């Protein structure tokens, strides 16, 4: 029995590390965008488009890292598009986000048709298996470098929000646009760049999907990670470090179904696969209250305003 429990626990740990990376990148990107006072719901589309671009470019160039870069650039284009459209008067960032989400996925499927068959070079994992002797753990410690980059990025963002001028300006723009304007800061400019960089990160998250895990390009690649990441940002109260914890939690929840299956429990497989979605709902309900205000929410967000 204990064997089964450890197997499941190790599998979930491995899953957490593996599945969390796209969550982490998308949520960090969304965190940055939301800190500047805008919501980009289009990151699901950016993620899928990033996955496609990464796979295609990796295949064409032969280098997965060039693919990652391409995914980031494609993502920043989507972010920039969102940022540029939202500059116009009377435009809702939520509506544009949804439009870009549909456009991104649709356009990715359209351009990506030809890349479903070929096999592109994949990203190599860093093997930390030598640290342990347990064979299961050895496999679990095959960790993608993007995961570490994500961790570093989270710390950099967290530090940057408090200790750099740009960080303070982004927070100011997100919390009180009138103040920023009174100080001569271009509010639209800051939001444009925050959305663009946020898009870059989401694109990189997509590259992880197609180049590492699951590691191929097809139309069912993303199961709403881009959307769940938005919920994740709210749940982590706009704190990049909390985003890491939340991404790991979501990753572990996502690994629950396959982990149970691997030890022979296949009953309710689909139910357990839905765990991240259920978790999203449960957490949102548990952490919100009609009596308390949402601590840490940027004051300019269209959902909290």
Q: Which residues bind another protein (CB under 8 A)?
A: 162-166, 168-169, 171-172, 175-176, 178-179, 181-184, 290-293, 296, 298-299
Contacts of 205 (CB under 8 A, 6+ apart): 21, 22, 23, 24, 25, 26, 29, 47, 50, 225, 226
Q: Nearest distance from residue 14's CB to another protein, in Å?
A: 37
State the nearest-atom distance from the C-beta of 237 to another protein, in Å: 11
Question: Closest separation between CB of residue 305 and another protein, Å?
Answer: 10
2 versus 163: smaller Cβ distance to another protein:
163
Q: How far is the CB of 162 from another protein (least distance, A)?
A: 8
Cα gap 112→119, rounded to integer Å: 13
Measured from the CB atom, the residue of 16 and 177 that comes closer to another protein is 177
Nearest to 29 by CA among 230, 231, 175: 230
Toward another protein, which CB reaches closer, 1 or 162?
162
Residue closer to another protein, measured from CB, 276 or 298: 298
Nearer Cβ to another protein, position 172 or 230?
A: 172
Shortest distance, CB of residue 182 to another protein, whole angstroms?
5
State phi, psi for 127 to the nearest 5 degrees.
-95, 110
Task: Tell me the closest approach of the beta carbon of residue 87 to another protein, in angstroms.
Answer: 17
Compute the distance between CA of residue 242 and CA of residue 262 in angstroms, rounded to an integer. Answer: 30
> Of 153, 157, 203, 175, whose CA–CA distance to 32 is shortest?
157
Residue number, 178 or 285, with CB nearest to another protein: 178
Nearest to 27 by CA among 209, 225, 299, 254: 225
Q: What residue has token string 């590390």?
A: 17
CB of 176 to another protein, least distance (A): 5
Q: Which residues, other chains included, contact 26 with Cβ-Cβ below 8 Å and sequence gap of 6+?
A: 43, 47, 201, 202, 205, 225, 226, 229
- From CA 240, how far away is CA 26, in angstroms rounded? 11
Question: What minimum distance in Å lies between the beta carbon of 85 and another protein?
Answer: 20
According to DSSP, residue 238 is labeled: T
Q: Which of 146, 149, 36, 33 is nearest to 100 (CA)?
A: 33
Residue 213 to residue 98: CA distance in whole angstroms: 26
Would you tell me how many other CB atoms lie within 10 Å of the CB of residue 132? 12
270 or 291: CB nearest another protein: 291
Query: Which C-beta is closer to another protein: that of 113 or that of 181?
Result: 181
């Amino acid at each position: 029995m204990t064997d089964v429990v450890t197997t499941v626990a190790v599998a979930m740990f491995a899953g957490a590390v593996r599945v969390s990376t796209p969550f982490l990148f998308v949520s960090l990107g969304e965190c940055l965008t939301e800190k500047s006072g805008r919501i980009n719901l289009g990151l699901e589309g950016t993620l899928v488009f990033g996955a496609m671009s990464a796979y295609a470019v990796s295949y064409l160039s032969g280098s997965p890292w060039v693919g990652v870069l391409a995914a980031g650039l494609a993502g920043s284009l989507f972010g920039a598009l969102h940022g540029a459209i939202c500059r116009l008067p009377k435009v809702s960032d939520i509506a544009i986000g949804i439009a870009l989400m549909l456009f991104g996925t649709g356009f990715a499927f359209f351009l990506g048709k030809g890349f479903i068959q070929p096999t592109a070079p994949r990203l190599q994992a860093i093997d930390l298996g030598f640290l342990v002797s347990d064979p299961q753990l050895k496999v679990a410690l095959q960790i993608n470098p993007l995961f570490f980059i994500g961790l570093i990025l989270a710390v950099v963002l967290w530090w940057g929000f408090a200790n750099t001028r740009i960080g303070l300006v982004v927070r100011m723009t997100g919390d009180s646009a009138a103040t920023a304007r009174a100080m001569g800061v271009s509010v639209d400019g800051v939001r444009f760049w925050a959305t663009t960089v946020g898009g870059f990160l989401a694109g990189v998250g997509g590259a992880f999907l197609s180049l590492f895990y699951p590691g191929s390009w097809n139309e069912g690649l993303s199961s709403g990670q881009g959307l769940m990441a938005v919920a994740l940002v709210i749940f982590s109260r706009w704190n990049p470090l909390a985003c890491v914890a939340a991404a790991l939690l979501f990753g572990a929840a996502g690994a629950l179904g396959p982990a149970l299956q691997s030890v022979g429990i296949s009953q309710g497989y689909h139910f357990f696969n839905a765990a991240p979605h259920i978790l999203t709902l449960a957490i949102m309900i548990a952490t919100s209250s009609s009596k308390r205000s949402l601590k840490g929410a940027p004051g300019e967000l269209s959902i909290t305003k």
